[in-house]
Structure 1
Amino acid sequence: MALLVTLAAVVVAGGHAAYLAMLNSAASKRAGGRPAAAFAKKRLPIAGVGLGVSLLALLISTGDSAGADVFAILLGAGGGVGSLKALQSTQQTFRKGEY
């Protein structure tokens, strides 16, 4: 169970980081895309922290202890939900053009 939760968290956090990298790349290639690229770069540390927390949870879930599994589930769920909320916030802000 812990492995599934932490894997899902890693996928969500990686998706957020990949989305920001894609935005940064596309905005850098466009004329007038500097504000969008700056917005994406500003959000990258948030994605990095979410990915780091999720990877730490995945590492902890590989242990044999039941207590470690519970901690990994809590850490993974927190990292995954946080990354999902940050991704949704990034998408909403970018779609509205508030960058």
Structure 2
Amino acid sequence: MKSVTILMMCCITAVCVSAGLPDSSHKKSVIGAESPSDEGVFVERDMASTLVRQRRAGVAPADLSVAQLESLKEVCEANLACEHMMDTSGIIAAYTAYYGPIPF
């Protein structure tokens, strides 16, 4: 049983090594020059501010305690559509959309 586990780990390691992951040691030859492979998770501040959703007016998560937010999550988890919206838009937006105004 141990030999099978070791063999599996060796196979996984071999696959990872042979996957041909890009080498991050290469630097840009020209400052500011970007190639399609240079795109990453970092974006300019202006672009990030347009992509990140701004806070909505009204009830902010800071206005509710942790216990209140947890009770809203428990109610919303009973409805599959509300739970999906909670994961994408936030608990306050999901609860308000499916159950009306927050009772606290």
Q: Say which structure is richer in helix.
A: 1
Normalised TM-score (structure 2): 0.25
Q: Which has the higher contact order (CA 8 A, sep 6+)?
A: 1
TM-score (norm 1): 0.26
Please say which structure displays the higher CA radius of gyration: 2
